[in-house]
Amino acid sequence: MSLLDTTRPSTQGKLKPEKSLLYLQPHHQRSLRLYSSLSKFALSSFLFLIIFLFFSLLSSPSSASHRSKITNSLSGGSQWEKKVIKSARPKSRAGFTVLVTGAAGFVGTHVSVALKRRGDGVLGLDNFNHYYDVNLKRDRQKVLERSGVFVVEGDINDIKLLQKLFDVVYFTHVMHLAAQAGVRYAMQNPKSYVNSNIAGFVNLLEVCKSADPQPAIVWASSSSVYGLNKRVPFSEKDRTDQPASLYAATKKAGEALAHSYNHIYGLSITGLRFFTVYGPWGRPDMAYFFFTKNILKGKEIGVYETADGKSVARDFTYVDDIVKGCLAALDTAKNSTGSGGKNRGPAQFRVFNLGNTSPVPVSKLVSILEKLLKVKAKKKVLPLPRNGDVEFTHANISSAQTELGYMPTTDLEMGLKKFVRWYTGYYSGSKKKKSW
């Protein structure tokens, strides 16, 4: 029988291959033995490969089970993704898709509502920390939900979450308002300022620089970067190397970090130096807010005075004016030039003062509140403590006026009237007063 013989010997049951060799010439027997051991080897290596591939797929990050683990661990799965996409989708193709960090914060809420109302897509991110009353943040979140803004509960230090958000949404802009705010609290909890205002900001910049396409970034710096600067009104060209508080130093650091990411990665970045922002839904840790509360409760308030006996003064800026400045900064932001972590040419880098250009002594703020609340304040004049507070702030806004068309329209008297109307309604306990 030759190798070519196609008729097979009849067999009772399946013969093992070596038994059939008896019918062949010796040299044929050798080649057939070689052929059968080669085919056995090929078969076992194929099987090994299949098993190896199967187990390596199971453990690989791209495996479905692993992906759903990430999704579920970071969020609520596909339902969560649907809410993210719906919230971030603009009404028209011309609309922006904006990630607002600190969206449940004071300025964050106002900016998010304004963007959503004009048709932009807005996704909020907030860690709902307990720096001040978290119920106020939850009530702001309800306002945002009614406006169609979903707020993801998470921290800018959670890089996996940030990456996940950028995986799900192509953000055209990031409005970065998440921060540890407050000048005086920095002496009690310095780490919180480093975590949020430096580490958190770097995290966000890292995710933005690797995004493709990269978003344009607008972020909240602070009038406090002017520190001990004596040239008034403060101009963006003035020195900012004398911060008077850790808070101010972290905001100044933020401006330096922003410049480095702009230079290396081509991120379009605009810093906005807010000047003591106040208004409805404001921050309870700020003087105008807790003065109102204490005056209504008949509790004493301490009004700081400078060494030469003058009341400290601030360029108080009403929140609606700040919102107009933020939206104008977003509207005039140029595209980032980089992609996938390297730049393709110089990118826009800007810093603007957003103030009211008319500083008011804190003593005057107190008398306006007394008139609006119809209650006499129990005032105690205190020397300005060395707690990081500066004697005065005063914004030169000519640059924002020229470049952004920024023009504040609400003076302190009118702004505090709107704040007091909100405050008395919100804390009156009536449910409806919690609306926007």
Ligand X SMILES: O=C(O)[C@H]1O[C@H](OP(=O)(O)OP(=O)(O)OC[C@H]2O[C@@H](n3ccc(=O)[nH]c3=O)[C@H](O)[C@@H]2O)[C@H](O)[C@@H](O)[C@H]1O
Which residue's CB is nearer to ligand X, number 127 or number 223?
223
Of 247, 265, 278, 423, the catalytic one is 247
Asked if 369 and 377 count as a contact pair (C-beta separation under 8 A), the reply is yes
**Cβ 107 to ligand X shortest distance, Å:** 9
Asked if 246 and 304 count as a contact pair (C-beta separation under 8 A), the reply is no
Judged by CB under 6 A, the chain residues 390 through 409 that form the site for ligand X are: 393
Say how many residues touch ligand X, by CB under 6 A: 20
Among 182, 271, 325, 408, binds ligand X (CB under 6 A): 182
**Cβ 350 to ligand X shortest distance, Å:** 18
Among 181, 218, 330, 368, binds ligand X (CB under 6 A): 181
**CA 259/CA 137 separation, integer angstroms:** 31
What separation, in Å, do the N-terminal and C-terminal C-alpha atoms of the chain show?
96
Q: Let me know if 202 is exposed, middle or buried by CB neighbors in 10 A (0-12, 13-18, 19+).
A: middle
**Cβ 361 to ligand X shortest distance, Å:** 9
- The sheet that has 349-354: what strands, in order across it? 150-153, 121-126, 97-101, 173-176, 216-222, 269-274, 349-354
Among 287, 322, 326, 329, binds ligand X (CB under 6 A): 287
Among 389, 399, 401, 426, binds ligand X (CB under 6 A): 389
Q: Residue with structure tokens 């107190």?
A: 366
**Cβ 378 to ligand X shortest distance, Å:** 13
Contact region for ligand X (CB under 6 A) — 5-13, 71-79, 285-293, 415-423? 285-293
Kindly state whether residue 302 participates in binding ligand X, applying the rule CB under 6 A: yes
Nearest Cα neighbor of 410 from 332, 324, 327, 333 is 324
Kindly state whether residue 416 participates in binding ligand X, applying the rule CB under 6 A: no
Convert residues 207-226 into a mask of x (bound to ligand X by CB under 6 A) and - (unbound).
---------------xxx--
Among 115, 144, 165, 312, binds ligand X (CB under 6 A): 312
Which residue's CB is nearer to ligand X, number 181 or number 211?
181
Kindly state whether residue 366 participates in binding ligand X, applying the rule CB under 6 A: no
Kindly state whether residue 183 participates in binding ligand X, applying the rule CB under 6 A: yes
Kindly state whether residue 412 participates in binding ligand X, applying the rule CB under 6 A: no
Which residue's CB is nearer to ligand X, number 243 or number 338?
243
User: CA 134, 142, 168 angle in degrees (round to 5)?
Assistant: 95
Among 209, 252, 314, 394, binds ligand X (CB under 6 A): 314
**Cβ 379 to ligand X shortest distance, Å:** 10
158 φ, ψ (degrees, to nearest 5): -90, 90
Which residue's CB is nearer to ligand X, number 148 or number 302?
302
Q: Where are the alpha helices (DSSP H) in 60-133?
A: 64-74, 78-88, 106-117
Which residue's CB is nearer to ligand X, number 150 or number 288?
288
Kindly state whether residue 356 participates in binding ligand X, applying the rule CB under 6 A: no
Asked if 138 and 128 count as a contact pair (C-beta separation under 8 A), the reply is yes
Among 106, 166, 274, 281, binds ligand X (CB under 6 A): 274
Kindly state whether residue 286 participates in binding ligand X, applying the rule CB under 6 A: yes
Asked if 378 and 301 count as a contact pair (C-beta separation under 8 A), the reply is yes
Contact region for ligand X (CB under 6 A) — 19-27, 178-186, 369-377, 394-402? 178-186
Query: Catalytic residue at 247?
Result: yes
Q: What secondary structure does DSSP assign to 343-385, as a single string? A: -SS---EEEEEE--S--EEHHHHHHHHHHHHT---EEEEEE--
Judged by CB under 6 A, the chain residues 115 through 144 that form the site for ligand X are: none
Q: What secondary structure does DSSP assign to 209-277, as a single string? A: HHSSSPPEEEEEEEGGGGTT--SSSB-TTS-----SSHHHHHHHHHHHHHHHHHHHH---EEEEEE-SE
Contact region for ligand X (CB under 6 A) — 107-115, 233-241, 258-266, 299-307? 299-307
Q: Residue with structure tokens 């070596």?
A: 18
Mode of pairing for the β-strands spanning 360-361 and 313-314: antiparallel
Length of the chain: 436
**CA 325/CA 344 separation, integer angstroms:** 29
Kindly state whether residue 245 participates in binding ligand X, applying the rule CB under 6 A: no
Kindly state whether residue 87 participates in binding ligand X, applying the rule CB under 6 A: no
238 φ, ψ (degrees, to nearest 5): -70, 160
Residues that bind ligand X (CB under 6 A): 181-183, 222-224, 274-276, 286-288, 302-304, 312, 314, 362, 389, 393
Active site residues: 247
